[in-house]
Structure 1
């Protein structure tokens, strides 16, 4: 059984999950609803569609990690606890083929959910506005697929290290809390914690660039910054306003160039690449060394 065969078998098994189907339907309904309510906004049709996909990316920044984690956290841990991993490895498979096959199938499931949402959004946008700004639609789609893949990589790495479902579930919840929730809600955020440690505990002068750099380690913020790369200048988000001069904090045009290199939009590609590659390497090494008896 080759890597492709493992991926096909796993994809067929995972797509029977009612929870994943429910998540895909919910994402599609959200996209259709946002597209519908955007019909009353002022401005040219193409601009309204671009604004629609900007809103969708803001929603996906919070919702897509949940879908990716739910789709992937039991990919290997579930097989280990249920004994299926012994069957997979009793055939002419290596641990690498199983690991890569699981990665391909889970990425395919998440990509299918994102595609379903985009089809719903595009269909509604065409019906309401008759506009199709291809650069923004395909650009945000590509960035979103990469973002989803980062959480698939993280979940698969945790699944490789977990010997039971309970540990895999705890890892998934913990990951979402640490990498998303702490960046969505301002109370006790990562930036605030970094500021407190730096100014109160160490007694140093405030350094907004340092606190923002600490926050930029999250794929959540990296995704929001990466979306700026495919959006028109006037629709870009100033994520790290505290690092900007006061006269540029609410001006998207040119604001990115005023930031340090490690806080600019382009650096988001480095952050996303890190979360794509490093968890996979760690997860694969843990899986290779794991005692599956």
Structure 2
């Protein structure tokens, strides 16, 4: 059974029905375009997170190659803070290493790769940069590196699936995690407390932060980038080519409406006028005052065939009426 609202819609003019149909299709296309644009935006943001993770990972590998980074303090600048370090060496102005303290002696402090990456993460988090990252593990030493709920989910998912990355959208952010595999460089500090440098065990006596296994998951590079996609942002991404394409589509839709009107609606109205004129005419009278074009028999156009059928029906009825009158 056809719903009442559908029956009422079918009673409307064909022009109005076509316009409503086109508006509906346009709305569906707009929503689909927005959803596709949102998906592309999330994909682009995920690629940005991958790039951030690549840079952090490459920087860590570079630092690992030299077993860390040495930083130099300046005795003349008391505000300079070296921060955490594993080793410390003094060097005089002459360049000779000296374990004694002197006013002109500068100290060099070695930071291991993980420490360098964490300090870089601290700078990034404190900066206005959109992309934030942190190094985390479920076997962390520094409490500041404790994993978040997402990091825990990501590490479990990576362990179970064997994938190299995991991402999801949560709280208006694209959260991305890149797998970190323990290598020989990691085992120097994170193998066992007995094998770790004295400076490490002095800061982190354990057992938290140790027990890494070479070749297995040690932690993740966790990246967070806010998602700022809205309808206004979607429209702002339109360039001149998009606007030209939309204008071309608008012209095409207008042309389609004109075509439907001229090739469907107007001919149907002519057939209707012809049928009404024939119904109201006197028996045997010719109906030629209506602007009606009879279709050709060879035409495959359904409107032409309808014209021909209506004309033939009128001719047949007129013929039968004449024969009845002769009797």
TM-score between the two structures when normalised by the length of structure 2: 0.23
* Structure in which a larger fraction of residues adopt strand: 2
TM-score between the two structures when normalised by the length of structure 1: 0.24
Choose between structure 1 and 2 for higher RCO, CA contacts under 8 A separated by at least 6 residues.
1
For the pair shown, the structure with the greater C-alpha radius of gyration is 2
* Structure in which a larger fraction of residues adopt helix: 1
